[in-house]
Structure 1
């Protein structure tokens, strides 16, 4: 038998950058398929089973045609109650799905509530590491609820989202991929894809929503970034403190049975 010369890191990179991962929409900019990632039991997350996204309240009629083509059955909205009330929700009246509003945070962070960091690369990593740790502490039961919903037989194809598809969505995606035994470097690389999505969002906002563009312009760059090292820090902390992502999940009520149901629902 001839030994393979394929570089595993290169294969992982190719999977992360697979062109079918990003689903193009008119008014949604970070809708991505979590398919293609290998799990530690020899299976693979199936394409078209589980998606992560940004604000689905912006969906246009053309975008709903894409949702229909994907066959979405379940939508999990991770935004706060205020965001939900201010901006609306997934258009259930035009496309009925099993809809679940599961706010990860009661309110998004305000400037006076966050650590003082410099608006630099290191400052962004410091802020995001703090923010994701705070989110895991505040929203533990909410993340557990999201697992319960997404693991229900028949829930897939499913999508979970927040406002930008970056922080709350990014942490839930990392927990799901980690629970399924996806390699941490692949989880970090998948998270990092949001950086390009934020550029797409800014371009769209500048052209279509001047008021939102003004708000984004007033927000420090470190709060809008998605630095891979921050996600790596969070995964390393879970591994150090709990042995693995699964170990952390067991402390918030997501045990092997729920993870097995999730695997059965989304892997092939």
Structure 2
């Protein structure tokens, strides 16, 4: 199988490999070990066969119970579903209520996203979810592949990928570049959302908010990193104190996911 960053998934968004990134000591993240993506609810049979052949063993679903109820994952054969919500509240309004919420204040979408990123590095619920994710990553010491995802594979998934890569010793510029791949990946999804919400009356504010809610932005990523710096001092302290990784855990992650 050819190594590629963007996976050829027909009925899903933002399916990507985390292999190939270089560490400062010349090693690289192994291919065919960890995937990040959007939800798996609409996958075709071809997509499911692709993921089965790829070796997906764990599907770590970072969405809320409400999100899963609306759009349950389709699982490739031999994959275990692990329900692991980063947030388990919200996502319960009707489409019309969301349209009305974002109809008039064009700054509301970006403001909410920044608050969400800050919450993901401070809230007890997010703390538990990231700890659970790393428990799965640490037990994946065979030939299996861990896939973790949220709804669009950009925010909860984006920070999960960042923390995983930080733990392996990947530099922040590379991590941010991986995070920002979602910007281009989400362009078709944003167009769909604008069309979807047009039936409620499209305003400039609503269109701007839909863009801000369904894209990624350096300011979102930076809000999380700045909060980590203020609260924990640096990312290494965060990995130890918030996610609960020991030095031995980090060594084990590197032995599982980095080339020799």
Q: After the TM superposition, which residues 1-268 of structure 1 pair with which residues of structure 2 at under 5 Å, given as runs?
A: 20-91=4-75, 95-108=77-90, 119=106, 126-138=111-123, 139-152=126-139, 153-154=141-142, 156-202=144-190, 220-221=209-210, 222-252=212-242, 253-268=244-259
Q: Distance in 1 between matches of 2:127 and 2:213?
A: 22
Q: Any conservation in 2 of the 1:74–1:97 contact (CA below 8 Å)?
A: yes
Compared CA separation, residues 39 and 212, structure 1 to 2 (3 A) = farther
Deviation at 1:128, TM superposition (A): 2.8
Q: Any conservation in 2 of the 1:35–1:47 contact (CA below 8 Å)?
A: yes
Deviation at 1:78, TM superposition (A): 0.5
Q: Name the TM-score, length of structure 2 as normaliser.
A: 0.80
Aligned residues: 239
Q: Any conservation in 2 of the 1:126–1:230 contact (CA below 8 Å)?
A: no
The Cα RMSD (Å) is 3.0
Structure 2 gap segments, 5+ residues each:
none
Deviation at 1:60, TM superposition (A): 0.8
Q: Any conservation in 2 of the 1:39–1:180 contact (CA below 8 Å)?
A: yes
Deviation at 1:119, TM superposition (A): 2.8
Deviation at 1:108, TM superposition (A): 3.6
Q: Name the TM-score, length of structure 1 as normaliser.
A: 0.78
Deviation at 1:204, TM superposition (A): 6.8
Structure 1 gap segments, 5+ residues each:
1-18
Compared CA separation, residues 214 and 258, structure 1 to 2 (3 A) = farther
SS in 1 for 2:59: strand
